[in-house]
Amino acid sequence: MKELNLLQIEIELKKRLSYPYKWGRKQTDYFDKLTNFIYKKSEFDEVLKEINSRFKNDKEHKNISNYALNRWYNFWSAQAVENIFCSLPNVKPALDSKDRLVDFTIHGVTFDHKTSIFPKNFPYVIKESIKKTDELIKWLYKHQSQQQRKHLKNRLFIVLYSPNGEHWKLKSEISWLKERIEKYMEGFNPHYLLKFQLEKGHYTLADVIWAVKE
C-alpha cells in the first residue's frame, strides 16, 4: 500500500476538529456515492473547496457537507492506522487494496480493522466494558456497519474513549494511536484472539485495542 506522511495526515485531520461532528442523516450507499471524492483529497481545505463547488446551491448543502467531512475524516484516519499496522513486523497489507473485508494479515490471520468511538448505548461504563471486551465485540458486530459495510469476518477494533465524551476527536491523534497499536502488537499472539460463532458454520476472530485517553 502507498506509504503516507502520518505527521501531515494528523495535521490535516486536526483541522476538522473545529467543525461540529454531525451526520445529519444515516449513512447510505447513495450519499456515499455522492461524496466519493473524499478518497482522492487528503487536504482538508481541498475537501471544503470541493464541497462548495459541487453543492453550493443544493438545498441539502449543510447535510451533504457534514456527511462528506465526516467520511473524509474517518477515511483518512483509517488510512493512517492501516499504514501504521503495515509498517510493523509480521504484518502484510492486503493483496487486493479494494478488498473491503481484508486490510492486512497478522501472523497469517486476515483482518479488517475498524476504529470506533466508545458506543454510548453499550450498557456498561468504560472500566466494566474493558473487562467485557467479548460482549462489546458482539455488540459492535450487531450494531455497526450496515449496508455495504456489513460483514462478520475477522475484525480488529480500535475503541476510542475520552473522559470528556468527545471520543471522535481521538481519530485525529495519529501519533498517540501509533503508540497504542505498537504496544498491542508487541504482545500479539493469534492464539489469544477472541473467537465467535456469529453465523452458523463459521467462526470469526476478533479483538479490541483499547485507546483510552487519561
The residues facing 144 across adjacent strands are: none
Confirm whether pTM is higher than 0.85. Answer: yes
Domain boundaries, given as residue ranges, for the chain: 6-212
- pLDDT single digits (tens) 91-150: 999 876 665 678 899 999 999 999 999 999 999 999 999 999 999 999 998 887 554 455
C-alpha cell at 27: 449513512
Total count of residues recorded for the chain: 214
Q: What are phi and psi of 118, to 5 degrees?
A: -60, 120
Segment 138-194, tens digit of pLDDT:
999 888 755 445 567 899 999 999 999 999 999 999 999 999 999 999 999 999 999
DSSP letter for each residue of 90-134: TEEE-SSTT-TT-SEEETTEEEEEEEEEPPTTSSS-HHHHHHTHH
Cβ within 8 Å of residue 38, ≥6 positions away: 47, 68, 71, 72, 75
